[in-house]
Amino acid sequence: MRKIYLASDSKARKKLLSFAGLRFKVVASRVKERKEKGRLSYAELVKNNALLKAKNVAKDTKHGIIIGADTIVTDGRNIFGKPRDLAAARLMLKKLSARPQWIYTGIAVIDQDKNKVFVSCEKTKIYMDRLSDKEINNYFAKVSPLDKAGSFDIQGSGAFFIRRIEGCFYNVVGLPLRKLYRMLKGLGVDIFVFLFCVLTVFSLAGCSTEYNLATRQEESYYYNYSTDKEVQMGRSIAIQVEKEYKLTDDPLLQKRVEDIGKKIVAVCDRKEIDYYFLVIDDEEINAFSLPGGFIFVNRGLVEKVANDDELAGVIAHEVGHIVARHSIKKLQALQGYSLLNLLVAAGAASGSSSAGELGAAAEAAFVELLLGYSREDELLADQLGTRYEKSAGYNPRGMITFLQKLQEVNRRKPLQPRSYYKTHPYIPDRIRVVKQELGDKADFDDYINTEQAPHPRQQ
């Protein structure tokens, strides 16, 4: 392959190209970006800046391909680049969280050998939750905003307050991979090296097909997502969770969750793995599962349930996710950044990765899983959970009463980043599905009470 030069010292862009399997050399551009658009459009501004960066590096290189990029964030009134200090970052993120914004990234590719220049732009719209000063300070305590346009990231902790995006995910990270791929393809760069990491992963890892007892279908997984690797990944993420959160020191609370969990597992469709049930000493109402059989339940949720039937419903739902391997399929679908981070994490056991890399990979995966599953996966986990709860001897209507209770609580209380309602959406639909699974007749409220309208605190 011909030499490729990245005219940017951006950490995010370097990671994206590295994880994509592209070999390149970083030669940071020395030009000063234009920050005022004047009569230019936002797209023209970032394309001009990207081209200036690429040309600056091209002056010192006789052969090869030079990639220049420039990203801005705008709310339609102001342009937000990288903040000059923390005070500017706080003000910037406060403004951006108040209304939708757009990410523009300009890309310039110069082929010195063929004397060709390609310039293009990608645009992505972002919707954020409105952030308080405390939330912004807590975020900056974990993530430095000074090297990020708009003062936030999407691939890390910033994902907790990004409601949704319209457009390319990788554009928000810092480099729209599909756009760049098509530009490089036009220059004759080997597409098998850069096809979103998919071919790289398959060639290194292979692919396996397994029969999923939950979905009753043959499903394909990357070789690194075999059952053994799934457990290894889950253990790595669980270690990171236990570093970030304190587990309960109440043995009775822990035993109650474990006892219910064991009864659910005894009747579930997946018994080739060991299950671990742990209680986090946190008052927030939440529960979540990790790959390979790791289930965490917050103390706040255990205290909120009225009885073991409601708690069993929650645990059975999480077991349903593990049985159907929803977390693995979600991480697998990410490809690029998170997928290869997890491959690094999986290799850590053999000493191929540092503790820092492992922690970053586990944190990225944990963040992604806390963003919640698709509507289809949530409803399937409820169907499975209802069956398991009933087979284990609990009253499965406990799942309905808990969801109804939770829905009422969240109508009156501001949403928290890691609350159950935030990480487990589609609650009205879920109540209806559980009723249908039990043969109950859905009433009028079940059909009109859909979650199409946003939570009042999210508007």
pLDDT in the model for residue 182: 87
Contacts of residue 292, defined as CB under 8 A and 6 or more positions apart, other chains included, come to: 227, 230, 231, 232, 233, 234, 235, 273, 322
What distance in Å separates the CA atoms of residue 346 and residue 225, rounded to the nearest whole number? Answer: 10
pLDDT (average), residues 234-254: 89
pLDDT (average), residues 221-245: 75
pLDDT in the model for residue 319: 96
Task: Give catalytic status of residue 70 as yes or no.
Answer: yes
pLDDT in the model for residue 443: 60
In this structure, the number of other CB atoms found within 10 A of the CB of residue 287 comes to: 22
pLDDT in the model for residue 390: 94
Give the chain as a 3 state SS string.
CCCEEECCCCHHHHHHHHHCCCCCEECCCCCCCCCCCCCCCHHHHHHHHHHHHHHHHHCCCCCCEEEEEEEEEECCCCEECCCCCHHHHHHHHHHHCCCCEEEEEEEEEEECCCCEEEEEEEEEEEEECCCCHHHHHHHHHHCCCCCCHHHCCCCCHHHHHEEEEECCHHHHHCCCHHHHHHHHHHCCCCHHHCCCCHHHHHHHHCEEEEEECCCCEEEEEEHHHCHHHHHHHHHHHHHHHHHHCCECCCHHHHHHHHHHHHHHHHCCCCCCCCCEEEEECCCCCCEEEECCCEEEEEHHHHHHCCCHHHHHHHHHHHHHHHHCCHHHHHHHHHCHHHHHHHHHHHHHHHCCCCHHHHHHHHHHHHHHHHCCCCHHHHHHHHHHHHHHHHHCCCCCHHHHHHHHHHHHHHHHCCCCCCCHHHHCCCHHHHHHHHHHHCCCCCCHHHHHCCCCCCCCCCC
Is the Cβ–Cβ distance between 174 and 13 less than 8 Å?
Answer: yes
Residue with tokens 């680049």: 81
Q: Please check the confidence at residue 332 and state whether its pLDDT lies above 90.
A: no
| Adjacent-strand bridge partners of 118 | 109
| Adjacent-strand bridge partners of 335 | none
The residue type of 293 is G
Tokens representing 10 are 């951006």
Structure-model confidence comparison of residues 316 and 237, the more confident one? 316
Tokens representing 49 are 């800046």
Among 12-16, 268-272, 331-335, the least confident range: 331-335
What distance in Å separates the CA atoms of residue 319 and residue 289, rounded to the nearest whole number? Answer: 8
Q: Please check the confidence at residue 62 and state whether its pLDDT lies above 80.
A: yes
Among 153-157, 229-233, 304-308, 371-375, the least confident range: 371-375
Q: What angle do CA 184, 189, 191 make, to 5 degrees?
A: 90
pLDDT in the model for residue 158: 81
Q: pLDDT tens-digit profile of 136-153?
A: 988 888 888 888 888 888
The residue type of 332 is Q
What distance in Å separates the CA atoms of residue 316 and residue 399, rounded to the nearest whole number? Answer: 9
Among 30-44, 89-103, 286-300, 380-394, the least confident range: 30-44
Q: Which of 70, 111, 129, 153 is flagged as catalytic?
A: 70
Q: pLDDT tens-digit profile of 368-427?
A: 555 566 777 888 899 999 999 999 999 999 999 998 887 777 666 554 444 444 445 567
Give the closest residue to 402 by CA, choosing from 323, 299, 285: 285
Q: pLDDT tens-digit profile of 6-24?
A: 998 888 888 888 766 677 8
pLDDT in the model for residue 385: 94
CA 73 to chain centre: 21
The residue type of 63 is H
Reported as a pLDDT band with limits 50, 70 and 90, residue 327 is: confident
**Structural domains for the chain:** 4-196 (3.90.950.10), 203-448 (no CATH)
The burial class, CB within 10 Å (0-12 / 13-18 / 19+), for 143 is middle
pLDDT in the model for residue 55: 95
Residue with tokens 């005022």: 36
Give CA torsion, residues 421, 425, 427, 429, to 10 deg. Answer: 170
pLDDT in the model for residue 442: 59
pLDDT (average), residues 328-351: 50
Reported as a pLDDT band with limits 50, 70 and 90, residue 342 is: very low
Structure-model confidence comparison of residues 342 and 173, the more confident one? 173
What distance in Å separates the CA atoms of residue 187 and residue 65, rounded to the nearest whole number? Answer: 9
What distance in Å separates the CA atoms of residue 168 and residue 103, rounded to the nearest whole number? Answer: 10
Q: pLDDT tens-digit profile of 67-117?
A: 999 999 998 888 887 888 899 999 999 988 888 999 999 999 999 999 999
Give the closest residue to 363 by CA, choosing from 128, 161, 174, 155: 155
Q: What angle do CA 9, 15, 16 make, to 5 degrees?
A: 110
Q: pLDDT tens-digit profile of 145-198?
A: 888 888 888 877 788 888 888 888 888 888 898 898 889 888 877 644 444 433
pLDDT in the model for residue 208: 42
Computed over every residue of the chain, the mean pLDDT equals: 78
pLDDT in the model for residue 18: 75
Q: pLDDT tens-digit profile of 433-446?
A: 888 888 876 564 55
Max alpha carbon distance in the chain (Å)?
74
pLDDT (average), residues 193-206: 38
pLDDT (average), residues 315-342: 71
